[in-house]
C-alpha cells in the first residue's frame, strides 16, 4: 500500500475542467495545502482520453495510466480522484474497483452517488477507506462537511437549496430582462453556461441528484432518487416571473427536503419565495443551501455551484481531510445505520399557491373559477388581471391561501376542466422561507 508519512498519493481519472482544476490548485497552493494536511498531496498518476492535448498545466511529472481500471488498482496511490462523470459503465467499475482495493475515492459525480452511493459506502466501510463528495453538491459551498460535521449535533428539520446554477441564471435573467425562457436559454448556451443538451439542468435532474444526497446526509437515511418527483423550469414564462414580482415574490428552482412528524418529504420544483427573503437574493449562476436544525435553527450558505475553481476547491478539501487521516462515513454514519424510509412528495405540504390561468374574457368566468375552488374549500388571497388580449383571452393570477397542496392541486384540475379555461394552468407552491 502506498501510505507514506510524507505524502498522500493520488491518481486523477479525467482531465476535463474539474480534473485540470484539481491539478492547478495542488500545484499553485502546494505549500499551504501540505501545511494544512500535515503532509504533501502528490499526484502520481493520471488518466484521460487524449494524452497529447494541451490543458494549460504541466503534467510532465505524472505517469499516464494505461486505462481507468489500472489507475484504480495502482498500488502506488492512496486515493482515486474521479473527475469523469456518468453513473454507470466504466466509471462505476473504476470507483468500485478503487474502493474494493482499499483506496479512498473523491468525486464530484452526483449522478453516480445518487444511484450507487449507499452500496459504494458499504464497500468503503468493508475496505477501511472513504468515499468523499463535497464537490458533488453545490460546487464550492462546503455543505457536505457542514451537514456531516458542523451541524452533527442537531436533528435536521429541513434543507432548502438552489442547487443548479444554470436554472438560477435563466430565472434571474428572465426576471431582470423580462425575456422569455427559450430566448434566455439560448443565450445561456451561447455563453457556455448551459450545455447543448440542457435537459439535465433545466428539467431538474442535476439538482435532484444533489438534493437526494443532501437528504441522505441530513436525515441519516438512504438517498432515493427514484422516489423524488422532479419538475424543472421549462414551463415558467415571462408572464409568471412578472406577475410573481408584482405580488412580491421571486421564482426559484428549489430542492426541498423536510422531516416533519415522522414524515420524510422531498421535492424538486420551481416555487415562489418572498422577494425580500435571503434565498430570493441568490442571483445568476450562484447556488445556496439553507438548513434548519433543532438547536442551531437556520443557517444559509451561498457560493459558486460549478466551474473549475469552486469544484476543485471542494475536491482538494476532501483530499486534505484524507491526508490528515480523517475518513468520515459517506452519509455521516455507517451504511447499516442509514434508515430506508418511505418518501412523500410535495402533496403532503401545506402552503399558499400561485395559479396562472389563461381564460376566455367573458362575464361570469371568474365566478365559475372561484366556485370550483370553493368546492374544495380553497380560499383566494389575491387576484390579478391585466386587461385582456386581442384574441379574446385574459390572464388571471390567483394567490390561494394556505391549504394542503394535494387539495389545491385537485381543485385546479377541476378548474382546468372548465370550458372557459384555454390553456394548461400553471400552479406553483409558495414557500414562505
Q: Which of residues 265-324 bind ligand HSE (CB under 6 A)?
A: 305-306
Is 230 in contact with 205 (CB distance < 8 Å)?
A: yes
- Smallest gap from Cβ 137 to ligand HSE, in A, equals 9
- Smallest gap from Cβ 344 to ligand HSE, in A, equals 26
Using the minimum distance from each CB to ligand HSE, give the nearer residue, 11 or 139: 139
Question: CA 212 to CA 86: how far, in whole Å?
Answer: 17
Identified binder of ligand HSE from the candidate list 11, 140, 165, 303, rule CB under 6 A: 165
- Smallest gap from Cβ 138 to ligand HSE, in A, equals 8
Identified binder of ligand HSE from the candidate list 74, 109, 121, 166, rule CB under 6 A: 166
Using the minimum distance from each CB to ligand HSE, give the nearer residue, 185 or 351: 185
- Smallest gap from Cβ 307 to ligand HSE, in A, equals 8
Sole window of 33-41, 164-172, 218-226, 315-323 interacting with ligand HSE (rule: CB under 6 A)? 164-172
Secondary structure string (H, E, C) spanning the chain: CCCCCCEEEEEEECCCHHHHHHHHHHHHCHHHHHHHHCCEEEEEEEECCCCCCCCCCCCCCCEECCCHHHHHCCCCCCEEEECCCCCCHHHHHHHHHHHHCCCEEEECCHHHHHHHHHHHHHHHHHCCCCEECHHHCCCCCCHHHHHHHHCCCCCEEEEEEECCHHHHHHHHHHHHHCCCHHHHHHHHHHCCCCCCCCHHHHCCHHHHHHHHHHHHHHHCECCCHHHCEECCCCCCCHHHHHHHHHCCEEEEEEEEEEEECCEEEEEEEEEEEECCCCHHHCCCCEEEEEEEECCCEEEEEEEECCCHHHHHHHHHHHHHHHHCCCCCCCCCCCHHHCECCCEECHHHCEEEEEEEEEEECCCCHHHHHHHHHHHCCCCEEEEEECCCCCCCEEEEEEEEEEEEHHHHHHHHHHHHCCCCECCCCEEEEECCC
Which of these is catalytic: 9, 110, 210, 258?
210
- Smallest gap from Cβ 130 to ligand HSE, in A, equals 22
Using the minimum distance from each CB to ligand HSE, give the nearer residue, 2 or 202: 202
Using the minimum distance from each CB to ligand HSE, give the nearer residue, 149 or 308: 308
- Smallest gap from Cβ 336 to ligand HSE, in A, equals 30
- Smallest gap from Cβ 135 to ligand HSE, in A, equals 9
Sole window of 160-168, 213-221, 236-244, 337-345 interacting with ligand HSE (rule: CB under 6 A)? 160-168
Sole window of 112-120, 158-166, 295-303, 391-399 interacting with ligand HSE (rule: CB under 6 A)? 158-166
- Smallest gap from Cβ 254 to ligand HSE, in A, equals 14
**Pairing of the two strands 426-430 and 343-344:** unpaired
Residues touching ligand HSE: how many (CB under 6 A)?
A: 7
C-alpha cell, 121: 459506502
Using the minimum distance from each CB to ligand HSE, give the nearer residue, 306 or 341: 306
Is 243 in contact with 175 (CB distance < 8 Å)?
A: no
Using the minimum distance from each CB to ligand HSE, give the nearer residue, 236 or 358: 236
x/- mask, ligand HSE, residues 113-152, rule CB under 6 A, reads: ----------------------------------------
x/- mask, ligand HSE, residues 188-207, rule CB under 6 A, reads: -------------x----x-
Q: Which residue has the cell 382546468?
A: 416
Using the minimum distance from each CB to ligand HSE, give the nearer residue, 232 or 305: 305
**Pairing of the two strands 426-430 and 263-274:** parallel
Identified binder of ligand HSE from the candidate list 109, 121, 158, 164, rule CB under 6 A: 164
C-alpha cell, 294: 433543532
Q: Is 115 a residue of the active site?
A: no
Which residues, in sequence order, are CB contacts of 49 under 8 Å at separation 6+?
none
Using the minimum distance from each CB to ligand HSE, give the nearer residue, 47 or 163: 163
Q: Which of residues 206-265 bind ligand HSE (CB under 6 A)?
A: 206
- Interface residues toward ligand HSE, by CB under 6 A: 164-166, 201, 206, 305-306
Any idea which residues carry the catalytic annotation? 210
Amino acid at each position: 500500500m502506498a501510505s507514506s508519512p510524507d505524502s498522500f498519493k493520488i491518481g486523477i481519472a479525467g482531465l476535463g475542467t474539474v480534473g485540470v482544476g484539481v491539478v492547478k490548485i495542488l500545484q499553485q497552493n502546494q505549500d499551504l495545502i501540505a501545511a494544512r494536511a500535515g503532509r504533501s498531496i502528490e499526484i502520481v498518476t493520471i488518466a484521460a482520453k487524449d494524452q497529447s492535448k494541451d490543458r494549460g498545466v504541466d503534467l510532465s511529472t505524472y505517469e499516464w495510466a494505461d486505462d481507468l481500471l489500472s489507475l484504480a488498482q495502482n498500488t502506488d496511490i492512496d486515493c482515486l480522484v474521479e473527475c469523469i462523470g456518468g453513473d454507470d459503465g466504466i466509471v462505476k467499475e473504476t470507483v468500485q474497483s478503487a474502493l474494493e482495493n482499499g483506496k479512498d475515492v473523491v468525486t464530484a459525480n452526483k449522478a453516480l452517488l445518487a444511484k450507487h452511493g449507499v452500496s459504494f459506502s458499504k464497500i468503503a466501510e468493508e475496505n477501511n477507506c472513504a468515499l468523499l463528495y463535497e464537490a458533488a453538491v453545490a460546487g464550492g459551498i462546503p455543505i457536505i462537511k457542514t451537514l456531516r460535521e458542523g451541524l452533527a449535533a442537531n436533528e435536521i428539520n429541513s434543507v432548502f437549496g438552489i442547487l443548479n446554477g444554470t436554472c438560477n441564471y435563466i430565472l434571474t435573467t428572465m426576471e431582470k430582462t423580462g425575456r422569455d425562457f427559450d430566448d434566455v436559454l439560448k443565450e445561456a448556451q451561447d455563453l457556455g453556461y448551459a450545455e447543448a443538451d440542457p435537459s439535465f439542468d433545466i428539467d431538474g435532474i442535476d439538482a435532484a441528484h444533489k438534493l437526494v444526497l443532501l437528504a441522505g446526509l441530513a436525515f441519516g437515511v438512504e438517498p432515493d432518487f427514484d422516489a423524488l418527483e422532479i419538475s424543472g423550469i421549462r414551463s415558467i414564462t415571462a408572464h409568471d416571473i412578472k406577475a410573481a414580482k408584482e405580488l412580491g415574490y421571486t421564482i426559484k428552482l428549489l430542492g426541498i427536503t423536510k422531516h416533519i412528524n415522522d414524515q420524510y418529504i422531498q421535492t424538486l420544483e420551481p416555487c415562489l419565495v418572498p422577494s425580500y427573503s435571503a434565498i430570493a437574493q441568490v442571483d445568476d449562476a450562484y447556488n445556496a443551501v439553507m438548513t434548519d436544525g433543532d438547536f442551531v435553527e437556520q443557517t444559509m450558505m451561498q457560493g459558486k455551484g460549478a466551474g473549475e475553481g469552486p469544484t476543485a476547491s471542494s475536491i482538494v478539501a476532501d483530499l486534505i481531510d484524507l491526508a490528515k487521516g480523517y475518513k468520515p462515513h459517506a452519509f455521516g454514519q455507517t451504511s447499516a445505520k442509514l434508515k430506508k424510509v418511505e418518501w412523500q412528495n410535495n402533496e403532503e405540504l401545506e402552503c399558499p399557491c400561485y395559479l396562472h390561468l389563461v381564460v376566455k374574457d367573458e362575464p361570469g368566468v371568474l365566478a365559475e373559477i372561484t366556485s370550483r375552488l370553493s368546492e374544495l374549500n380553497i380560499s383566494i388571497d389575491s387576484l390579478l388581471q391585466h386587461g385582456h388580449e386581442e384574441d379574446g383571452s385574459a390572464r388571471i393570477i390567483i394567490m390561494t391561501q394556505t391549504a394542503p397542496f394535494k387539495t389545491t392541486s385537485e381543485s385546479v384540475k377541476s378548474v382546468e376542466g372548465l370550458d372557459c379555461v384555454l390553456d394548461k394552468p400553471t400552479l406553483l407552491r409558495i414557500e414562505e422561507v
